[in-house]
Amino acid sequence: MIETRALKKSFGPQSILDGVDLQIETGESAVIIGRSGGGKSVLLKHLIGLLQPDSGEVLVDGENISRMNERQLLHVREKFGMVFQGAALFDSMTVAENVAFPLERKRKFTAGEICTRVAKALEVVDLPGTEKKKPAELSGGMRKRVGLARAIVYEPQIILYDEPTTGLDPIVSDSIDKLIIRVRDHFKVTTVVVTHDMRSARRVGNHVMLLHEKKMYAHGTPDEIFNSQDAIVRQFIDGVADPQEILF
Amino acid sequence: MCTWLGEWLIVLGRIGLLARDTIASCLTLKFSRRDLIYQVYFIGVKSQSVVLVTGAFTGMVLAAQTYFQFHKLKMDTGTLAVVSVSMCSELGPVLTALMVSGRVGAAIAAELGTMRVTEQIDALRTLATHPIDYLVVPRFIAANIALPLLTIESMSIGIIAGYFVGVGLLGIDPAYAWYNMLKYSHNSDVMIGLIKSVIYGGIIALIGCYKGLSCVNGAEGVGRATTEAVVYASITILITNFFLTLALEQMCVILGI
pLDDT tens digits, B62-85: 999 999 999 999 889 999 999 999
- At residue A243, the pLDDT reads 62
What chain A residue is nearest to B116 in terms of C-alpha separation?
A88
- At residue A158, the pLDDT reads 93
**Cα B86 to Cα A134: distance, rounded to the nearest angstrom:** 48
- The domain tally of chain A equals 1
A66 located within any domain: no
Average pLDDT over residues A183-197: 89
**Cα B183 to Cα B172: distance, rounded to the nearest angstrom:** 17
**Which band of pLDDT confidence, cut at 50, 70 and 90, is reported for residue A234?**
confident
What chain B residue is nearest to A150 in terms of C-alpha separation?
B127
- At residue A58, the pLDDT reads 93
* Closest by Cα among B96, B137, B108 to B207: B108
Read off the pLDDT of residues A63-72 as tens digits, 9 standing for 90 and up. Answer: 999 889 988 9
Cα separations (Å) of B72 from A20, A199, B91?
81, 88, 24
Average pLDDT over residues A76-80: 91
**Cα A31 to Cα A152: distance, rounded to the nearest angstrom:** 19
How far is the alpha carbon of B20 from chain A, nearest alpha carbon, in Å? 14
Instruction: Kindly state the DSSP code that residue B44 receives in the 8-state scheme.
Output: T
A167 located within any domain: yes
Stretch among A226-235, B97-106, B171-180, B228-237 having the lowest mean pLDDT: A226-235
**Cα B164 to Cα B170: distance, rounded to the nearest angstrom:** 9
A20 located within any domain: no
Read off the pLDDT of residues A135-149 as tens digits, 9 standing for 90 and up. Answer: 999 988 889 889 989
Has residue B88 got a pLDDT over 60? yes
A14 located within any domain: no
**Cα B64 to Cα B76: distance, rounded to the nearest angstrom:** 10
pLDDT above 70 covers a percentage of chain B that reads 100
Instruction: List CB contacts (< 8 A) between B126 and chain A.
Output: 48, 50, 77, 80-82, 151
Chain mean pLDDT for chain B: 93
**Cα B235 to Cα B144: distance, rounded to the nearest angstrom:** 19
Q: Do A80 and B118 touch (CB under 8 A)?
A: no
CATH number for position A114: 3.40.50.300
- 8 Å CB contact between B147 and B194: no
Q: Do B122 and A74 touch (CB under 8 A)?
A: no
Stretch among A62-71, A166-175, B4-13, B247-256 having the lowest mean pLDDT: A166-175
Segments forming the whole domain that contains residue B250? 2-255
- At residue A35, the pLDDT reads 85
Say which of A50, A70, A91 has its CB closest to residue B126. Answer: A50
Enter the ipTM.
0.89
Q: How many alpha carbons lie under 13 Å from residue B211 in its C-beta half-sphere?
A: 27
**Which band of pLDDT confidence, cut at 50, 70 and 90, is reported for residue A186?**
confident
- The domain tally of chain B equals 1
Beta bridge partners of A64: A59
Q: Do A84 and B127 touch (CB under 8 A)?
A: no
The sign of the dihedral angle between the CA atoms of B63, B68, B69, B71 is positive
pTM: 0.89
Query: What would you measure as the largest C-alpha separation in chain B, in angstroms?
Result: 69
Segments forming the whole domain that contains residue A177? 27-36+75-239
Cα separations (Å) of B252 from A132, B190, B242, B257?
55, 12, 16, 5
A19 located within any domain: no
The residues of B whose Cβ lies within 8 A of any Cβ of A are 115, 118-120, 122-123, 125-130, 134
- At residue A5, φ and ψ (nearest 5 deg) are -125, 120
**Cα B247 to Cα A48: distance, rounded to the nearest angstrom:** 47
Q: Do B129 and A105 touch (CB under 8 A)?
A: yes
- 8 Å CB contact between A81 and A156: yes
SS3 B121: helix
SS3 B215: coil
Has residue A246 got a pLDDT over 60? no
DSSP string covering B231-248: HHHHHHHHHHHHHHHHHH
Read off the pLDDT of residues A216-229 as tens digits, 9 standing for 90 and up. Answer: 888 889 888 888 88
Has residue A39 got a pLDDT over 80? yes
Read off the pLDDT of residues B130-165 as tens digits, 9 standing for 90 and up. Answer: 999 999 999 999 999 999 999 999 999 999 999 999
Q: Do B128 and A90 touch (CB under 8 A)?
A: no
**Cα B97 to Cα B87: distance, rounded to the nearest angstrom:** 13
Has residue A244 got a pLDDT over 70? no
**Which band of pLDDT confidence, cut at 50, 70 and 90, is reported for residue B1?**
low
**Cα B155 to Cα B89: distance, rounded to the nearest angstrom:** 9
Say which of A78, A84, A151 has its CB closest to residue B119. Answer: A84
Q: For B4-36, b where at least 16 C-beta lie within 10 A, e where not — what string?
A: eeeeeeebeeebeebbebbeebbeeeebbeebb
Q: Do B126 and A48 touch (CB under 8 A)?
A: yes
**Cα A187 to Cα A200: distance, rounded to the nearest angstrom:** 20
The residues of A whose Cβ lies within 8 A of any Cβ of B are 45, 48, 50, 70-71, 73-75, 77-78, 80-82, 84-86, 88-91, 101-102, 105, 150-151
How far from each other are the two terminal CA atoms of chain B, in whole angstroms?
44
Chain mean pLDDT for chain A: 88
Q: Do A88 and B118 touch (CB under 8 A)?
A: yes
How far is the alpha carbon of B7 from chain A, nearest alpha carbon, in Å? 15
Q: Do B128 and A102 touch (CB under 8 A)?
A: yes
A49 located within any domain: no
**Cα A176 to Cα A142: distance, rounded to the nearest angstrom:** 10
- 8 Å CB contact between A79 and A42: no
Has residue A6 got a pLDDT over 70? yes
Query: What would you measure as the largest C-alpha separation in chain A, in angstroms?
Result: 62
Candidates A50, A134, A158, partner chain B, best to mutate (most B CBs within 10 A):
A50
A116 located within any domain: yes
Has residue A248 got a pLDDT over 60? no
DSSP string covering chain A: -EEEEEEEEEETTEEEEEEEEEEE-TT-EEEEEE-TTSSHHHHHHHHTTSS--SEEEEEETTEE-TT--HHHHHHHHTTEEEE-TT----TTS-HHHHHHHHHHHHT-S-HHHHHHHHHHHHHHTT-TT-TT--GGGS-HHHHHHHHHHHHHTT--SEEEEESTTTTS-HHHHHHHHHHHHHHHHHHT-EEEEEES-HHHHHHH-SEEEEEETTEEEEEE-HHHHHT---HHHHHHHHT-SSGGG---
How far from each other are the two terminal CA atoms of chain A, in whole angstroms?
36
Average pLDDT over residues B24-47: 91
- At residue A6, φ and ψ (nearest 5 deg) are 45, 45
Interior angle at CA A106, CA A105 and CA A112, nearest 5: 90
A222 located within any domain: yes
- At residue A101, the pLDDT reads 93
